[in-house]
Structure 1
Amino acid sequence: MVEEQNEDTRALDLLNDDLTDVSPEEIRAAQAALAAQLETADDRWRRTAADYDNLRKRMAREIQTVREQERQHTATAFLPVVDALDRALTFGVDLDEGVLDGMQAVRAQAADALRALGYPEIVIDGAEFDPQLHEAVSVVEDASVPPRSILAVTRPGFGTPERMLRPAAVVVTRRPDEE
């Protein structure tokens, strides 16, 4: 390391000196030493720039992952509220119409909050059973409807096939001769 510094210093000294008494070999050696220093510095700069770019990209991915985890954590914590509102609406048929409407409005707000977090309520109307979106909790034999038809929803589901919070729990049909 000391020898490198001496050579580097010698190269710089040669450039600053009066070059009349310096041999061409010494000038070429000084130029070569400076070119090597420049190449080393350029290589270090490029590696540092690449490391910084990789760090920036990795941090952006990690931030996105943490955001998604927190979004899912918040939505998961909100699911019991939606379930409680659904149970209250099921058992609240004898309630005053205003109270029932208010509870339905609060339930709609809860579903909207989950949608805003990226977990829309899974639509069941006329849907056929899809294992990515639904969880079959019961199977009913019924020849009057096509097999794999959803008869009832026992628990609403939230999410998309790419980002599932909870599948919808459903009652599914099958033909009497299927197993």
Structure 2
Amino acid sequence: MVENSENNVKEEIAGSGNPEPTEMKEQITAEQVEVSVKDSAEYKELQDKYLRLAAEFDNYKKRMVREYSRALETSADEPIRELLAVIDDFERALAYENSDVQNFRQGVNLIYTKLMEMLAKRGLVKIAGKGEQFDPIYHDAVMQLETDEYEEGKIVEEVQKGYTINGRVLRPARVVVAKRKTGSGLPINDSDKK
């Protein structure tokens, strides 16, 4: 009975007009070939675009590296060009061997002023020193001095000037900070502590 049902199914398939499995294989294979050829052309086009973009990006990276290197090389040109004017002034001041001390001092002071103005244009600012409250962000305490002249924590002396550039500390000021005197130097009695 199972054999009869199998025969009936085969007859129905043959009579229904559906293609035989071998015909279907040939049909699918032809469609696959057409799709794969189409995909191959699309694939080649996409691969070509990818390779072009990769080459373009590689060229972009190389160009950026060259431009960055060039910018680093030339970044110091303008500040140094401005410093050349200060060097010229120093050379002129040093050329006058027989000038008196007052004129020499005045010339050096003018050069100093010119240099500080040039640096101020670039964002350099002196950190406040003597008489100001000690701030560990802007000051580096090199010593504490016991004194009654200044409040505790005030700067008594500036050992080395400090500077900020564009709001950042370039170099902290090295300072001497006031400290309260501990006493007269006489021994303290235990009865005084109570």
Which TM-score applies when normalising by structure 2?
0.48
RMSD: 4.3
Cα distance in 1 between the residues matched to 2:167 and 2:66: 21
1:146 to partner: Cα distance: 3.1
Question: Which residue, out of 152, 159, 174, partners 1:154?
Answer: 159
- 8 Å contact from structure 1 (residues 122, 156) kept in 2: yes
Partner of 2:38: 31
Instruction: Establish whether residue 140 from structure 1 lines up as the match of residue 157 from structure 2.
Output: no
SS in 2 for 1:108: helix
- 8 Å contact from structure 1 (residues 120, 160) kept in 2: yes
Partner of 1:128: 133
What do residues 51-96 of structure 1 show as CA deviations (whole Å, max 9, x unaligned)?
455x37963995599479959xx7xx9xxx9xxxxxxxxxxxx953
Instruction: Establish whether residue 176 from structure 1 lines up as the match of residue 181 from structure 2.
Output: yes
Distance 1:126 1:65, change over 3 A: farther
SS in 1 for 2:140: strand
What do residues 84-116 of structure 1 show as CA deviations (whole Å, max 9, x unaligned)?
xxxxxxxxxx953x5443332221122223334
Instruction: Establish whether residue 106 from structure 1 lines up as the match of residue 114 from structure 2.
Output: no
1:169 to partner: Cα distance: 2.0
State how many pairs are aligned: 136
- 8 Å contact from structure 1 (residues 122, 133) kept in 2: yes
Partner of 1:119: 124
1:171 to partner: Cα distance: 1.6
Letter in 2 for 1:112: E
Cα distance in 2 between the residues matched to 1:132 and 1:65: 32
- 8 Å contact from structure 2 (residues 150, 156) kept in 1: no
Distance 1:67 1:173, change over 3 A: farther
Cα distance in 2 between the residues matched to 1:44 and 1:25: 27
Partner of 1:59: 65
- 8 Å contact from structure 1 (residues 111, 121) kept in 2: no
Gaps of 5+ in 2: 1-29, 88-99, 183-194
Letter in 1 for 2:38: Q
SS in 2 for 1:120: strand
Which TM-score applies when normalising by structure 1?
0.51
What do residues 131-162 of structure 1 show as CA deviations (whole Å, max 9, x unaligned)?
33222222112345333211222222233486
Cα distance in 2 between the residues matched to 1:69 and 1:131: 32
Percent identical pairs in the alignment equals 19
1:26 to partner: Cα distance: 4.7
Greater gyration radius = 2
